[in-house]
Amino acid sequence: MTLSDFDQKRLAGVLTEAEFPELPGFQRGKVRESYDLGDGRRLMIATDRQSAFDHVLAAVPDKGHVLTATAAFWFEHTADICPNHVIDYPDPNVIIAKELNMLPVEMVVRDYITGTTDTSIWTMYAKGARTVYGQTLPDGLVKNDKLPGTIITPTTKGAVGGHDHPITAEDIVSQGLLTQAQWDEAAQKSLALFARGREIAAANGLILADTKYEFGLDENGIVTIADEIHTPDSSRYWRTETYADRHAAGEEPGPMRSVPRSATGNPGRDLDRIFKQICVAVRSDHRHGVSTRRSVGAGQRPYPGGTHPGTTGIFLICARALRQSKIGR
């Protein structure tokens, strides 16, 4: 199988890292690089790294742009529910964000019993557990059933390469990870954010099965959502139109979007079609609240000529944006 010249250029332009010695406070996550600028701002760069099961597996062309644009849409459409960390979007892969005191737990919200990892409620339930994360579940559920009600299954946050660990709300408070008031605020906002996500997803033919939220405290102690929201990295989406039939047949629910098989067997055309579908789905124009210099429309690529500017280009973009945002402060 031979890739086209276009596909080879896109693969060569994958952004796998964005570490700049010139910038202070570098931290590497599974997908994002970030810098604590020391003035109440954090620079976050979404790379194209693909993470699964708490490990970085590979890199996908333009994934960082897709994540940033998707999160931007959801941050805008949930701002009335919960404040977020966004200050500016100087580039399709970059966010300048407020520096927050991050809470040491992740809020996983679920409407369905599913999953394959050790921390998934289906894995625990299938082994006989009926109380998971402090939540009591009824007998008789099968994988991918809708739960009787929306639940929160929090985890402690693992380091890069480490695993998240299940924990209950009671243990979070008793161990001093959060105060009762902080837990109550984070839980209330998590459920409200999930309800908004479920509503918008349903209006677009999708089921938001579960998702993960990360929160921090701002300078006034307000619980603020950070990192990302309702992206393909943090959320599980199914297609509404196929869920019932596939579930009744004992099959896994369909993904967000199906990609037709190639009639020609040309992998280059397949990749191009997939990429265009992604661009249509997450166009970062003004309607999605992304104030970037590059607006990406249907069938367009986030960078001129389809070539990523690379780490040097990203650094120059960041430096210019940081100067401008500091002047405006």
The mean predicted confidence, pLDDT, of the chain is: 79
**Percent over 90 (pLDDT), the chain:** 54
Cβ(306)–Cβ(83) under 8 Å? no
Which 8-state DSSP code applies to residue 85? -
> Half-sphere exposure of residue 235, counting CA atoms within 13 Å on the CB side?
24
At residue 274 the predicted structure's pLDDT band, cuts being 50, 70 and 90, is very low
What integer pLDDT is reported at residue 283 of this predicted model? 37
Please provide the DSSP assignment of 131-199 as one string: EETTEE--TT--TTPEEEEEEE--EEPPPTTS--EE--HHHHHHTTSS-HHHHHHHHHHHHHHHHHHHH
Q: With a threshold of 0.85, does the pTM exceed it?
A: no
* Greater pLDDT, 75 or 55: 75
What pLDDT score was predicted for residue 79?
97
CATH of the domain at 45: 3.30.470.20
User: Could you tell me the residue range of the domain that residue 250 belongs to?
Assistant: 5-327
Number of compact structural domains in the chain:
1
pLDDT tens digit string along 5-46? 656 666 666 888 888 888 888 988 888 899 999 999 999 998
**In contact, 148 and 135? CB cutoff 8 Å:** no
Instruction: Judge contact between 300 and 84, C-beta under 8 A.
Output: no
Per-residue pLDDT at 327 exceeds 60: no
Instruction: Name every residue whose Cβ is closer than 8 Å to that of residue 264 and which is 6 or more positions away in sequence.
Output: none
- On the question of pLDDT at 228 being above 90, the answer is yes
Contact status, residue 62 vs residue 294, Cβ threshold 8 Å: no
Section 213-224 average pLDDT: 97
Tell me the pLDDT tens digit for each residue of 150-206. Answer: 999 999 975 544 567 899 999 999 999 999 999 999 999 999 999 999 999 999 999
